[in-house]
Amino acid sequence: MSFETISVIGLGYIGLPTAAMFAAYGKNVIGVDVNQHAVDTINRGEIHIVEPELDAIVHKAVTDGKLKAVLVPESADAFLIAVPTPFLQIENDGDIPQPDLKYIQAAAKAIAPVLKKDDLVILESTSPVGATEQMANWLAEYRSDLTFPKTHGDASDVRIAHCPERVLPGHVVRELVENDRVIGGMTAKCSELAVELYKTFVKGECVITNARTAEMAKLTENSCRDVQIAFANELSIICDELDINVWELISLANRHPRINILQPGPGVGGHCIAVDPWFIVSKTPEQAQIIHVARKVNDAKPKWVINKVKVAIAEFLQENPTKTVKDITIACFGLAFKPDIDDLRESPALNITKEVAKLHSGNVIAVEPNIAKLPNSLSSVTELKDFQHAIREADIAVILVDHKEFKDIKFVSSTKVIDTKGIV
């Protein structure tokens, strides 16, 4: 089977680079998105997301006529679904977040009318175990004239697989090509065809398993990182209590040949590591003990940092009895969810800055070298200032992200520094 036309449903951080890569390797690609702005932007040869090197690849693919974006799916040989898998609204504090598959269902419904015999449908969205089978059930429901793997095995009209994306934001273009892929077909034939499709551009190994294991593999990778970060975050709180420098401690422990502790921080952000472990916990709440606790440890870290700010304010007032709270300037260094990117979504640094601005009646300034303008949620409570200004003005400095611009940061001795990233 040769896949001539490939359709990617969902043109976000994963779907757009994937669509562009297939187009760059000669396939005809139809990208589908419900967002008119995204569709228009891509069809102009531009991009609506920030990812290094992607703009040039999309521009060339569109100019060469290999990539187009549409609102409604058209016929294709393979469909890759890369839509979000968020949570359902939590009703009570402490409830376990439950995954919401409504975008996968909507994608299945949208492609069903154009689906034909011998098509391959791949779910790329990070999903709870069982989501691929659920998607296949929805497709079977919408297209009772076609056969599916669950009932017809390798002889089915439509082939289904789960192939989770595993690329690191900021390095997507390189990692899409170089990373190994986990290919979880619903049957052996489904896997074989999915490997053939990805081999269009993937230089890494395409390793075959079943759909459920592929779903769990992706959740396991991100949960493993979350648990390890929780360990580092817990160490940082223990060390603070015991008056030990956690950064020195970790670098010493990491000299052991079999130890590799990650770095503590102000909490875990982004749309993956802080989300995916819940897909395991919600499915197996009795069994997923460590994964659950790790989530709670990481989610509690921003509160701990905010408490440190409150303590610093009290100490500052004690040491400077002629001053009032209103005289204190707090500078927050970094708003992004990790270093050297401009992505503020689900960022603990952003949330901490917001909370500090809410609790502090004096001046709060924010430094984020990767953005030109503050998001609306912050612009009414704080100002975006440059690095040097913030260093000069800060009575209390809160370092929240280890951006490269902050590496040589130095404060005057009177500035109280809360360094969540071990830069100072």
Catalytic residues: 218, 272
Any contact of residue 162 with ligand SAJ (CB under 6 A)?
A: no
Site of tokens 């995916």: 276
Q: Which stretch binds ligand SAJ (CB under 6 A): 50-58, 166-174, 246-254, 352-360?
A: 166-174
| Binding-site member from 66, 162, 338, 403 for ligand SAJ (CB under 6 A) | 338
Q: Residue 274 has which token pair?
A: 């802080």
- What span, in angstroms and rounded, lies between the C-alpha atoms of 163 and 123? 6
- Does 98 engage in binding with ligand SAJ (CB under 6 A)? no
Does 15 help bind ligand SAJ (rule: CB under 6 A)? no
Rule CB under 6 A: is residue 302 a binding residue for ligand SAJ? no
Q: Cα-atom radius of gyration of the chain, to the nearest Å? A: 24
Candidate ranges 110-118, 160-168, 182-190, 374-382; the one touching ligand SAJ (CB under 6 A): 160-168
CA distance 265 to 159: 43
The count of chain residues that interact with ligand SAJ, using the rule CB under 6 A, is 20
Q: Determine which residue in the list 88, 155, 168, 314 makes contact with ligand SAJ, applying CB under 6 A.
A: 168
| Site for ligand SAJ contains 27 (CB under 6 A) | no
Q: Which of 225, 383, 423, 424 binds ligand SAJ (CB under 6 A)?
A: 225
**Shortest distance, CB of residue 290 to ligand SAJ, whole angstroms?**
16
Please state the closest distance from residue 376 (CB atom) to ligand SAJ, in A: 22
Q: Using CA atoms, how far apart are residues 334 and 370, in angstroms rounded to an integer?
A: 9
Is 263 near ligand SAJ (CB under 6 A)? yes
Toward ligand SAJ, which CB reaches closer, 162 or 338?
A: 338
d(C-alpha 402, C-alpha 341), whole Å: 11
Read off the DSSP letter of residue 154: G
Contacts of 91 (CB under 8 A, 6+ apart): none
Q: Which residue type sits at 216? A: M
Instruction: Classify the C-alpha dihedral 201-204-210-212 as positive or negative.
Output: negative
- What DSSP state is assigned to residue 166? -
Nearest residue to ligand SAJ by CB is: 272
Residue (193 or 268) nearer to ligand SAJ, CB? 268
Candidates 10, 31, 99, 169: give the one binding ligand SAJ (CB under 6 A). Answer: 169
Quote the tokens at residue 142.
């919408």
- Contact window for ligand SAJ (CB under 6 A) among 117-125, 264-272, 285-293, 405-413: 264-272
Verify binding: residue 337, ligand SAJ, rule CB under 6 A. Answer: yes
Q: At how many degrees (to 10) do helices 211-242 and 289-319 cross?
A: 30
Angle at 125 between CA 72 and CA 116, to 5 degrees: 45
Sign for the CA dihedral angle at 305, 311, 316, 317 comes to positive
Q: Is 265 in the site for ligand SAJ (CB under 6 A)?
A: yes
Amino acid in position 334:
G
Q: Could you tell me the two tokens for 299?
A: 């989610």
198 versus 337: smaller Cβ distance to ligand SAJ: 337
What part of residues 111-130 is at the interface with ligand SAJ (CB under 6 A)?
126
State the Cα angle at 315 between 313 and 319, rounded to 5°: 120
Residues forming contacts to ligand SAJ in the complex (CB under 6 A) are 126, 165-169, 221-222, 225, 229, 262-263, 265, 268-270, 272-273, 337-338
